[in-house]
């Protein structure tokens, strides 16, 4: 791999690290509401589609990791 390709892959990994941080914060907020006994907030978050958003983010992250892995070490 060239230095430019390595830099591009590092940039992709940095981007998904930021996505993971955001997803983690979303989960933490729901967990905090649950632990605090704030059921209306928990139900609102779940019914607002938050779990779908989290799932989409995780699927995107999975695809990026797979793509970087394939570029670094093709099968």
Is the distance from CB of 21 to CB of 56 less than 8 angstroms? no
Rg, Å, the chain Cα set: 17
Alpha carbon separation from 17 to 20, 22, 26, 32, 34 (Å, rounded): 5, 9, 14, 22, 26
Question: For each successive 10 residues of the chain (75 residues), what is the average pLDDT?
Answer: 92 95 96 97 95 96 96 86
Q: What is the pTM of this model?
A: 0.82
What per-residue confidence (pLDDT) applies to 24?
97
DSSP per-residue codes, 60-75: HHHHHHHHHHHHHS--
Residue 30: CB atoms within 10 Å = 19
């Amino acid at each position: 791999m060239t230095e430019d390709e390595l830099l591009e892959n590092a940039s992709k990994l940095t981007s998904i690290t930021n996505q993971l941080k955001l997803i983690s914060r979303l989960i933490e907020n729901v967990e905090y509401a649950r632990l605090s006994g704030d059921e209306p907030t928990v139900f609102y978050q779940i019914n607002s589609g938050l779990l779908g958003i989290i799932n989409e983010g995780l699927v995107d992250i999975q695809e990026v990791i797979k793509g970087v892995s394939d570029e670094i070490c093709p099968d």
